[in-house]
A and B are shown apart, each in its own frame.
Chain A
């Protein structure tokens, strides 16, 4: 079974600075997806960024980018020019590429990292 680990329960950053959230995962599969979800105080789960394992290029979405290290099974999220609205819980998640099989297409989540942004 796949596991996802976020080793940083809490992180903080100054507004306009850069912060990196860590995520590691364990899998025996070669094809999969990785996601970062944001959960602000409103509780809504918002997709921030996704990465396909078969793509070597790291995904970017505006101020958000990832450092995907497939061999190391590492998937970190970098937030540049941090804004007060970035304050939230961030979850890393894994999904098997294949719809069938033992993973059944479900997402496996890490424990979450609470990000505080200081003005």
Chain B
């Protein structure tokens, strides 16, 4: 089984619908992230969480919300989806990093492709 699991893998929805993307991990990492990938823009950070009680906005958080239900679970919600939110979404985890033995490398899920019609 994958260390970082995202559901659903693919989803098509309509404008105005509420959508939740879920992420769970078995790596035991405290840090979790949600990124969005768009062609020509790379990956951009939506939200990140350093532990269950620490959630922070990334560079493109408008229109999104998150919930850290447990150390292993981090969900991303689109309260009212719009076509502009059509993208590939990635969940990722990392250790704390900032040492010679731990670079804070991100470990990614397999992505959730969301299409908003």
Q: Do A and B come from one complex?
A: yes
Report which A residues bind B (CB closer than 8 A): 4, 6, 9, 33, 35, 42-45, 47, 50, 52, 91, 95-99, 104-112
Q: At the interface, yes or no: B104 with Cβ under 8 Å from chain A?
A: yes
Do residues A95 and B108 form an inter-chain contact, with CB atoms below 8 A?
A: no
Do residues B108 and A45 form an inter-chain contact, with CB atoms below 8 A?
A: yes
Cα of A108 to Cα of B48 in the assembled complex, Å: 13
Do residues B42 and A106 form an inter-chain contact, with CB atoms below 8 A?
A: no
Interface centre among A96, A98, A104 (most CB of B within 10 A): A104
Do residues B110 and A44 form an inter-chain contact, with CB atoms below 8 A?
A: yes
Interface residue from B31, B40, B98 paired with A98 (Cβ < 8 Å)? B98
> A45-B106, A91-B43, A95-B103 given. 20 additional CB < 8 A pairs?
A9-B40, A33-B103, A42-B110, A43-B88, A43-B113, A44-B108, A44-B110, A45-B92, A50-B105, A104-B48, A105-B94, A105-B98, A105-B104, A106-B45, A107-B43, A107-B104, A109-B35, A111-B42, A112-B40, A112-B42
